[in-house]
Every structure is written in C-alpha cells, then in structure tokens.
C-alpha cells in the first residue's frame, strides 16, 4: 500500500513531517508521497525519518496553476521526485508563498472594510 498525495504542516496538513511519516509506517504503507502546496520544506526531515523507519518517501510538490484559455481556471499540478535543493525551484516556491500571503491580507482587508473583524495573526495560525 502506498499514498502519493499527502500534506504536512509545511502547507495545509495537520501533521508535522515526522508525525505523518510515523503514521504512514504504523498504517503499513511501504511508500509515502509528500507533496505540500508550493513547499518542499518538509522533505529533508521526512526523508531522514522515512529512511530510519524503512519507509520510502517520494519527494514531491503541489503547484497551483491557472489555465488561461478557461478563464484562469485553477488546477493543481503534482510533481514527483523533485530536487528539493534546486535554487530556482526554491525561489519560485517562495514567490508563490509570498503571493498567497498577499492575497490573504488583501482578502482580510476587504472583509474588515465590510465590518467583519478579522485578525491577521489568528488567520495565519
């Protein structure tokens, strides 16, 4: 049994890399794909723990993409066996994360302007 599409706390998952790898091993998986949204941050630790536990970690990343011909319809592209140390990839992922933060701040401001009180620190957490 394998699971090739999981997320950690490096994006929108609820388990840390270590917790996720341990849970996968305890469930009897032989391979685990970690493909966080716009992040490879969890991969080094997950790979180390996976190696220690005898669980194959398939390094990945999930990228948000937009299909321009379809009115910018969003879809997610999964990339496996990515080089999590590649400088160009890391720069792009950081850009995507910063853009997501800017969009969230803008949305929060719009909600606050409509008298829905929101707190940035609470939203980030």
Q: What are the DSSP calls for 29-67, one per residue? A: -SEEEE--BT--TTHHHHHHHHHHHT-EEEEEEEEEEEE
> CA 24: distance to chain centroid?
17
Task: Answer whether 0.85 is exceeded by the pTM.
Answer: no
**For residue range 16-46, what is the model confidence (pLDDT) as tens digits?**
999 999 999 999 999 999 999 999 999 999 9
| CB contact at 8 A, 23 and 30 | no
Spatial contact of 37 and 65, defined as CB atoms under 8 Å apart = no
Token code pair at residue 16: 């840390």
Q: Which of the following CATH numbers is that of domain 1-85: 3.40.50.620, 3.20.20.70, 3.20.20.140, 3.10.580.10?
A: 3.20.20.140
Q: Which residues partner with 59 through β-bridges?
A: 34
Instruction: Inform me whether the pLDDT recorded for 107 exceeds 90.
Output: no
């Amino acid at each position: 049994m394998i699971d090739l599409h999981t997320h950690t706390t490096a994006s929108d998952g609820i388990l840390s890399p270590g917790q996720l790898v341990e849970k996968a091993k305890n469930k009897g998986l032989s391979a685990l794909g970690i493909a966080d949204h716009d992040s490879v941050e969890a991969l080094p630790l997950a790979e180390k723990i996976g190696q220690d536990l005898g669980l194959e970690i398939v390094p990945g990343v999930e990228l948000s993409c937009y299909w321009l011909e379809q009115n910018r319809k969003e879809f997610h592209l999964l990339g496996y066996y990515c080089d999590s140390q590649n400088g160009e990839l890391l720069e792009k992922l950081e850009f995507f994360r910063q853009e997501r933060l800017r969009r969230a701040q803008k949305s929060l401001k719009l909600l606050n302007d409509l008298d829905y009180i929101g707190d940035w620190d609470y939203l980030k957490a």
